[in-house]
Structures are given as C-alpha cells and as structure tokens.
C-alpha cells in the first residue's frame, strides 16, 4: 500500500491488521522475521511471544491513535490519574479478551505450531507497584477505557519494578526485577515529547517588564523526562486510553568541559545521577521511607505530567484560564501531592498568573484520594530536605499555608491549637511538610476508599479539615475489574456463568444477580463444583511444580495472599494452623475438613518482623507437611513471588478468603473482592470493604469474627494486656508455648523471639485479643465445608451479589460526583474528524 500523505489512515483491516486466522498467522511469521530477526526454526519461545505481542499491538494501534486524535479534536474534559504506581499485570491475555480476538488468535497460534497459554505465560509482568494501591490504579485504567471516559494515566517507568521474591531456607530473598531486559513490545517511546525538570538550587526575585514582582528558580540540576506510552484498551469498545510513564535521562548526557579537563569519569556523572531517578521502585507498601530519591521521583513525574498537560492544553486554547475545565486530576494518595505546589509554580512563575486566579484553577483541578490511616504511611518531608531539593516549592507551600491559616483564623479566632493542628507545616518538633494536608487544601474533593475508611478519615486524620469543609468529603468504595479478575483469570467459571445468564455481566456486573435462582438448582451446583475442582487441580499442579508439595484438590483451599504486614495479621492465620496441628496431635482420630493453607506475599526488604512471619509460616509448613500423623488433613504452603500473574491463578482456586486485618486498619482491601467474585467465602473482620461485601452477600454467607473498630480503640485505650489472653485461653497458650519451645525452629528458642516479644509487648494489632474468636469462627468454616451442597449455594450467592464491586461502578461514581465528566465514543473508522 502506497503511503498517502493526504490521508494517512491505516484501514482497520488491511494486509497488516486483518483479523482472519490466515492473516494473523502471516503477521506472526512476519513479525518473527522482521522484528525479532529470527527464522522460526531458531526462535525461542520468548521470540514467539514478542512476535505475537506485536501482532496484537498492530491490531489495537488504530484504536489508540483514534482515541488520542478524538480527544485532541473534541472539546471534552479529560481525567488525569496521577499515580506513582501501576501494577498492571501482563498485557497480552487482557488485550486479547478486550479486543474479542481470543479464538482466532488461539487458532492462528496453534496452526503455527505454538501454544497460546504458554506464550501468554511467558510475558514478564510490569511490576510497577507494591500492592493494593498500584493494582487499584490498573483496575481504574481498565474501567475508564471500558466506560469510554477520556483519561490519561501518568506515572513512572521504573527500570526495576517490585523485586522478585525467592524463598531460601524459609526466608525471603529479594532479586532485582529486570522486566525490561528482553524488551517491552507494549510501549512506544516518544522522545520528541520530552520535558525538562529542574531540581535543587535557589530562588531569586526580580521585577518583570510590567513592573510586577516575580520569583525565578535557578536550579543546580536539570533532568529530562522521556515519555513511554502504553495503550490501555477498553473491553469491546474502540477506546484505548494512554498510560504515559516517564523515564529520566540527563538533560546533557556528556559534560564536555569536564571531559576536556581530563575528568573522563566526571564527564558522565550527571548522566548517571539523572538516570538513577527512575531506576527502581521503592518496595515499601504503606511505610514511609523518607529518602531524598523518593521525593525526587515524585516531583519528577508530577512535573513532567503537568508540563505535558499544559502543552496539550495550549495546543488548542489561548490560555490556561480554563485548564481545570480541560483536566480533572486525581491524586492517587499523597505521592503526587507535590503537584499542588508545582501547578501553582507553573501558573504563577512561568505563566504569570496572579496568585488568586492560579489558586482557583489549582483547587478546581485537583481531587485527592486517601488510601490509609496508618501513621507510618502518612507522608511528610523534612523541611531541610524539601528546601534543598525544591526551594521554590517550599516558598509556595508557605504562601499557600499562610493564606489558608488566615481563613481559619477568621472562622476560629483565638484558636492557636487549631491553627497548629491544621498547618501544612508541622512545627511541633523537627519541622515537616505534611503532604496529606497539602493535598487536602489544594483539592476540591477528598475521598476515602470504603465506607468505614471514609468515615474514619473524617473522625481522625482529617477531622479538622472536615469541620472546615464537610462538603468536600465523600466515599468511593474501591472495585476491581471483572475483565482481568474473572474473564481472563477464570475462564471456566466465566463460561459457566455466561452459559446461564449471557455475557452482559462482563460490562454490567450487576447482571450477576440473575445467578441467584441458580443457587437452588442441584444441577447447577454440581457444575459449579466441577469447575472449582478443575481450577483447584490447576493450582495443585502449580504448587507441585513450585514447591514439590502434593496437595489434595478436594481439601478446603484456605488462602491469604497480600503484602505481609502485621496489621494484615498473617501471624494470626498461622497461629490457627498450629492450633489445628495440636488438635490433631492430641486427638489422632480427629475428623476435620482437610485443609490446604496457602500463603503468598512480599515483605518490604527492611521490615524484619514481616520477614520473620514468612519464616514462621515456612517453618510450620516444614513440620506439618512432614508429620505422618497429620497425613492429608493439613498442608501448608507459602508460594513465592506473589504478583498479578500468580493472583490470576490463586483467586479462582480459593474456597476461603482470609481478610483478617485488625478492624480499622485496612482502608478497603481489593483482594477480598477478587476472591468473592470467584466464589470463595470470606472469613473476615468488620474492616474496610469487608463490611460492604458482607452487607451485599448477606451475613449468613460470610464468616465474621473479631473486635470491631470501637472495641479495638477501647481495648487499646484501656491498656491492652496480651498476657491476660495468654493466661486465660489455653488454646492460645498451647500454640505460643509450642513456638517458644523451639518446636518449629529445630530447638532454637530464640528464632521467633522478636515476633513473640512484639505480640506480648507492644501489639497495636491485637492478635491475641482476636485469637479465640478467630479459632471459633474457623471451626464453623470447617463444619460448613462438610456440607458441600450448602457451601456451593453460599459460594454462588457470593458471586451473584458482587455487582457493586466492579471498578466500573467506582469509576462511574468518581465521574459523576468528582470529575463531572461524560463518556466520548471513539469511532473506529473515522480517524480524523477534521478530515486531514
Ligand atoms: O490501597 C488499597 C486499599 C488498601 C490499602 C492500599 C494502600 C497501599 O497499597 C499503599 C499505600 C496506601 O496508602 C494504601 O492498604 O486497603 O484497598 C487501594 O485503595
């Protein structure tokens, strides 16, 4: 086809992008040859994966370009999601589902002598996030595209994502994640759209030509941000929104002055430091690190993104006056909250807006989601660090703070305590910038991520702000995308569901309600159990391959997968395992529902107690799995390197979902939703979104235990006494004594001492206080599992009532209440409405 400059449209289906099996096969072979440079005979599996990925990318390019083109040409509002993390998971399978191309591609791949599942499995997932927060951003991107909402995601293209976890001698070992090593076929670099970011230095004031007082920032370092774009396709729509991730580079890669002076090494030093900025993801979930490089990362990606938005805006608008009408920017936690000061700097210093006007634009642009109440996760930066790296921003924050506190003074005269409590600068001891306060003051809307959490925000960390502006606060309960978490990860169950109620539920999850009557049909329950059995068998194979352990697919799969954290209480779970072990040992003929306890999750590398919990789980596994007296009744397995890919295998296979955080600590949770959606029953506390899940599925279909949030607070306020629980509950005492005796540590009585000391000493997570209630509730679970008919009934009802927890619902609520944005339908055929 000759390249036609007057009409550069690539047809939807031409020789290159056709959808027939023959064309797909041809494309696969062409890409292997022309892009991978390989003959089929010597191509590796990875080469074949790459060739297939390019084949699929070609088929979504038109959607992607049409989408950007339409947004440029139409006068619509665009949502900008600013997030330091995106935990996307592999693209290939998801894109096949969303394009509706699974079947022809499967056939083409098979006729080419390859296996589709195998190729899909080869993809290295982009682990550009730690846990729930990053995965939520990915689910939101999926829903935004599916709902045809104009959106851009901005973030960081970490060269090394979340570390790979290996287990050696029961301990976690971290391995660098080299996800880009063999290339990333899903991204396109756009060096032509690079931007410059300043760092360090000082500020100077001057008077401009009109006689106005101004400030300029003289940095001592300049870094270049290169955008890398990835398409995020909606489900069976033509929308493919853009995820733009920034990579840092030296603005000037080579310092000739230093080179000429003979300083050969020094000549490239700046290049090295600049590139370090986006080298690695900080592997802490909900734990502030306070490192200079982290602040630099945050500022870097936020500045790149805002500059990019301003460029886009000015391409079609004479000024920035209506910037907030063009962009609605959602701050995903405080990580991008420096954006408030940066937008003010860009408007005031670079575009010469008057302060008041700039502030109105800024506040109308931003909204802020808080994701945690944990004190150790609340971001604050020390003033010296801040002023050294971002001297101009500190001045701007002072000014924002002063003007804000002036307002407070009017409303609450002579209330010095309140001023100190509300101040963006914490001056109690060492001075800090409180980022949640900056985000709150700079936003027109603030939300939490589940009903309880949103309520607690108003009562605790942002209480004084809520009193000032109650109308700004709302709740947006999290959700997850049913495309990845059901259609892609559990095709058997998806097919069973669709065979009875059609496929409408994939886009409108409330339609799952139609499954309810099927819960009463014995034949359907039988089919349901058959599916579950097959999926569990798959996981059993995976467990055998990874850890050489044989597990029984008919046992109850009791699963806890999530980051390892004391508040999530994986240690409470393992205490229960030890309790069951002891029961069997003391009563060898005990008949219990056989169980397989499955754990997965990463610990932050510097979080010693979390790592010790992993060691304890593995140590218990070693004893239990090898004790002939236990036989098939208990198996314990810690599967290493829990990530999105592994999540896709494990959620479908679970019978029981462990959501056992201390009440009030888990903001929402999203794993809890994925489990229920796949037909697991939950054992859980009244925490985060568990509360709403229980409301939806019915109290009778949920295993509830534990202290409530007010009870937790009361217990702590009264001076929690772990020893009392230990002395009063013989089951707890027996379990703790066994650990302390060195039974699980080859006689070493010191190994688990730090963990035990924390449980007996200072344990804000009240593990011992909830132990007995948990054990009792687990007993009910075991009994309930014996009645397979009723268990299936409950599982079906769980799935049927999960409609609320689609991220489509969450995004609709953001779109209506916070962003005031409407969908824009993308036409596949008509690429350039202006007819270029
Ligand atoms: O965010 C999830 C919540 C979850 C919460 C998590 C989270 C992080 O993963 C990291 C930092 C942070 O402040 C919060 O722990 O409860 O479901 C998405 O909202």
Give me the active site residues, please. Answer: 371, 562-563, 568, 670, 674
Select from 461, 476, 491 the last residue of a domain. Answer: 476
Question: With bands split at pLDDT 50, 70 and 90, how would you rate the model's confidence at 74?
Answer: confident
Number of domains within the chain: 2
Which atom of ligand 1 is found nearest the CA of 333? 13
Give the closest residue (by CA) to ligand 1 atom 18: 133
In a domain, 823, yes or no: no
Which atom of ligand 1 is found nearest the CA of 285? 10
Q: What is the pLDDT at residue 254?
A: 62
Q: In terms of domains, do 410 and 441 share one?
A: yes
Q: Is the model's pLDDT at 474 over the cut of 70?
A: yes
Q: In terms of domains, do 425 and 507 share one?
A: no
Q: What is the pLDDT at residue 290?
A: 79
Select from 434, 456, 476 the last residue of a domain. Answer: 476
CA gap 307, 309 in Å, rounded? 5
Give the closest residue (by CA) to ligand 1 atom 4: 669
Q: In terms of domains, do 528 and 653 share one?
A: yes
Which residues are CB-neighbours of 731 under 8 A, at least 6 positions away?
A: 579, 771, 772, 775
CA gap 799, 805 in Å, rounded? 10
Mean pLDDT for 206-233 is: 96
Closest CA to 486 of 372, 648, 246: 648
CA gap 641, 509 in Å, rounded? 30
- 378 DSSP 8-state letter: S
In a domain, 7, yes or no: no
CA of 682 to the centre of ligand 1 (A): 19
C-beta neighbour count of 779 within 10 angstroms = 15
Which atom of ligand 1 is found nearest the CA of 563? 9
Q: Are 799 and 676 in contact (CB under 8 A)?
A: yes
The ipTM (two decimal places) reads 0.99
CA of 644 to the centre of ligand 1 (A): 16
Q: What is the pLDDT at residue 754?
A: 98
Which atom of ligand 1 is found nearest the CA of 286? 11
Sign of CA dihedral 125, 130, 135, 137: negative
Give the closest residue (by CA) to ligand 1 atom 14: 371
In a domain, 20, yes or no: no
Q: Over pLDDT 70: what percentage of the chain?
A: 97
Q: What is the pLDDT at residue 570?
A: 98
Mean pLDDT for 186-192 is: 98
3-state secondary structure of 166: strand
Per 3-state DSSP, the chain is made up of helix, strand and coil in percentages (nearest 5) of 50, 15, 35
Question: pLDDT tens, 646-692?
Answer: 999 999 999 999 999 999 999 999 999 999 999 999 999 999 999 99
What are the b/e assignments for 150-181, b being 16+ CB within 10 Å?
Answer: bbbbbbbbbbbbbbbbebeebebeeeebebee
- Could you tell me the end-to-end alpha-carbon distance of the chain, in angstroms, rounded to an integer? 19
Q: In terms of domains, do 424 and 500 share one?
A: no
Q: Is the model's pLDDT at 7 over the cut of 70?
A: no
Average pLDDT, the chain: 95
In a domain, 671, yes or no: yes
In a domain, 808, yes or no: no
Which residues are CB-neighbours of 43 under 8 A, at least 6 positions away?
A: 32, 36, 51
Q: Over pLDDT 90: what percentage of the chain?
A: 92
Give the closest residue (by CA) to ligand 1 atom 7: 133
Q: In terms of domains, do 422 and 567 share one?
A: no
Question: pLDDT tens, 448-459?
Answer: 999 999 999 999
C-beta neighbour count of 812 within 10 angstroms = 16
CA of 135 to the centre of ligand 1 (A): 9
The parent domain of residue 153 ranges over 75-90+125-282+292-476
Q: Is the model's pLDDT at 401 over the cut of 90?
A: yes
CA gap 118, 446 in Å, rounded? 44
- 287 DSSP 8-state letter: -
CA gap 62, 828 in Å, rounded? 7
Q: What is the pLDDT at residue 15?
A: 67
Q: What is the pLDDT at residue 835?
A: 38
CA of 370 to the centre of ligand 1 (A): 9
CA of 130 to the centre of ligand 1 (A): 9
In a domain, 619, yes or no: yes
Mean pLDDT for 723-728 is: 98
Angle between helical axes of 753-760 and 608-625 (0-180°, round to 10): 110
Mean pLDDT for 606-611 is: 98
Q: In terms of domains, do 326 and 425 share one?
A: yes
Q: In terms of domains, do 147 and 274 share one?
A: yes
Q: Are 206 and 218 in contact (CB under 8 A)?
A: no
In a domain, 67, yes or no: no
Give the closest residue (by CA) to ligand 1 atom 8: 133
In a domain, 64, yes or no: no
CA gap 777, 323 in Å, rounded? 54
Q: In terms of domains, do 697 and 602 share one?
A: yes
Give the closest residue (by CA) to ligand 1 atom 11: 286
Question: Residue 149 sits in a domain of what CATH number?
Answer: 3.40.50.2000
Among 252-256, 518-522, 525-529, 709-713, name the one with the lowest average pLDDT. 252-256
Residue 42: exposed, middle, or buried by beta-carbon count in 10 A (0-12, 13-18, 19+)? Answer: exposed
Residues with beta carbon inside 6 Å of ligand 1?
130-133, 136, 285-286, 333, 371-372, 377, 449, 478, 666-670, 688
Q: In terms of domains, do 320 and 467 share one?
A: yes
Question: pLDDT tens, 476-516?
Answer: 999 999 999 999 999 999 999 999 999 999 999 999 999 99
CA of 368 to the centre of ligand 1 (A): 14
Q: In terms of domains, do 527 and 468 share one?
A: no
Question: pLDDT tens, 729-759?
Answer: 999 999 999 999 999 999 999 999 999 999 9
Question: pLDDT tens, 813-823?
Answer: 999 999 999 99
CA gap 636, 594 in Å, rounded? 11
Q: In terms of domains, do 415 and 496 share one?
A: no
Q: Is the model's pLDDT at 269 over the cut of 80?
A: no
Select from 476, 495, 510 the last residue of a domain. Answer: 476
Q: In terms of domains, do 704 and 621 share one?
A: yes
């Amino acid at each position: 086809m000759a390249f036609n400059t007057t009409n550069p449209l690539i047809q939807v289906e031409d020789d290159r992008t056709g959808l027939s099996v023959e064309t797909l096969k041809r494309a696969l072979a062409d890409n292997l040859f022309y892009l991978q440079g390989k003959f089929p005979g010597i191509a590796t599996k990875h080469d074949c994966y790459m060739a297939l990925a390019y084949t699929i990318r070609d088929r979504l390019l038109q959607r992607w370009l049409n989408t950007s083109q339409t947004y440029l040409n139409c006068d619509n509002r665009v949502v900008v999601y600013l997030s330091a993390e995106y935990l996307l998971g592999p693209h290939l399978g998801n894109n096949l589902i969303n394009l509706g191309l699974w079947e022809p591609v499967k056939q083409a791949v098979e006729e080419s002598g390859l296996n589709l599942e195998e190729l899909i499995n080869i993809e290295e997932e982009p682990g550009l996030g730690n846990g729930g927060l990053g995965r939520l951003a990915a689910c939101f991107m999926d829903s935004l595209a599916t709902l045809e909402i104009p959106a851009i995601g901005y973030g960081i293209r970490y060269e090394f994502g979340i570390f790979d976890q290996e287990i050696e001698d029961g301990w976690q070992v971290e391995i660098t994640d080299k996800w880009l090593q063999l290339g990333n076929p899903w991204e396109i670099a756009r060096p032509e759209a690079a931007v410059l970011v300043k760092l360090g230095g000082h500020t100077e004031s001057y008077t401009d030509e009109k006689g106005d007082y101004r400030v300029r920032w003289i940095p001592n370092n300049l870094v270049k941000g290169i955008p890398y774009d990835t398409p995020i396709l909606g489900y069976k729509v033509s929308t493919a929104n853009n995820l733009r991730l920034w990579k840092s580079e030296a603005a000037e890669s080579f310092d000739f002055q230093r080179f000429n002076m003979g300083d050969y090494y020094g000549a490239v030093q700046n290049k090295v430091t600049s590139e370090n900025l986006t080298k690695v993801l900080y592997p802490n979930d909900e734990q502030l690190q306070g490192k200079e490089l982290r602040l630099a990362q945050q500022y870097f990606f936020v500045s790149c993104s805002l500059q990019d938005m301003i460029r886009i805006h000015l391409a079609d608008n004479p000024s920035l006056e209506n910037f907030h009408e063009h962009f609605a920017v959602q701050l995903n936690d405080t990580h991008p909250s420096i954006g408030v000061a940066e937008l003010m700097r860009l408007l005031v210093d670079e575009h010469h807006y008057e302060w008041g006007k700039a502030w109105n634009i800024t506040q109308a642009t931003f909204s802020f989601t808080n994701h945690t109440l944990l004190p150790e996760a609340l971001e604050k930066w020390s003033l010296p660090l801040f002023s050294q790296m971002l001297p101009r921003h500190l001045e701007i924050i002072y000014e924002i703070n002063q003007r804000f506190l002036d307002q407070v003074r009017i409303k609450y005269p002579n209330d010095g305590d309140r001023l100190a409590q509300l101040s963006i600068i914490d001056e109690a001891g060492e001075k800090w910038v409180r980022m949640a306060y900056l985000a709150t003051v700079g936003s027109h809307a603030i939300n939490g991520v589940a009903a309880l959490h949103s309520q607690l925000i108003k009562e605790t960390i942002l209480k004084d702000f809520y009193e000032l502006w109650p109308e700004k606060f709302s709740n947006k309960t999290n959700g997850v995308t049913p495309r990845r978490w059901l259609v892609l990860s559990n095709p058997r169950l998806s097919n069973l569901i669709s065979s009875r109620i059609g496929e409408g539920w994939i886009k409108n999850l409330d339609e799952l309600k139609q499954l309810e009557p099927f819960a009463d049909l014995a034949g359907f329950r039988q089919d349901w159990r058959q599916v579950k059995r097959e999926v569990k068998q798959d996981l059993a194979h995976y467990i055998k391959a990874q850890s050489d352990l044989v597990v029984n697919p008919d046992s109850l799969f009791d699963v806890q997968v999530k980051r390892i954290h004391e508040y999530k209480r994986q240690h409470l779970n393992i205490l229960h395992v030890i309790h069951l072990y002891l029961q069997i040992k003391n009563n060898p003929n005990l008949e219990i529902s056989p169980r397989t306890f499955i754990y997965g999750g990463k610990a932050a590398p510097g979080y010693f107690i979390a790592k010790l919990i992993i060691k304890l789980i593995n140590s218990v596994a070693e004893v239990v799995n090898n004790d002939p007296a236990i036989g098939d009744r208990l198996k314990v397995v810690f599967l290493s390197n829990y990530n999105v890919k592994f999540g896709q295998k494990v959620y479908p296979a679970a019978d029981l979902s462990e959501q056992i955080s201390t009440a009030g600590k888990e903001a929402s949770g999203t794993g809890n939703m994925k489990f229920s959606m796949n037909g697991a029953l939950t054992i859980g506390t009244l925490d985060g979104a568990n509360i709403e899940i229980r409301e939806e599925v019915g109290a009778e279909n949920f295993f509830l235990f534990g202290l409530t949030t007010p009870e937790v607070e009361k217990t702590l306020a009264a001076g929690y006494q772990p020893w009392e629980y230990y002395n009063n509950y013989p089951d707890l005492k027996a379990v703790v004594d066994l650990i302390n005796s060195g039974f699980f540590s080859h006689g070493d009585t010191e190994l688990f001492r730090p963990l035990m000391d924390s449980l007996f000493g200072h344990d804000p997570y009240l593990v011992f206080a909830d132990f007995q209630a948990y054990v009792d509730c687990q007993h009910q679970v075991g009994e309930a599992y014996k009645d397979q008919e009723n268990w299936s009934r409950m599982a079906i009802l769980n799935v049927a009532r999960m409609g609320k927890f689609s991220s489509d619902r969450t995004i609709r609520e953001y779109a209506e209440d916070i962003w005031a944005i409407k969908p824009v339908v993308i036409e596949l055929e008509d690429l350039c409405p202006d007819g270029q």
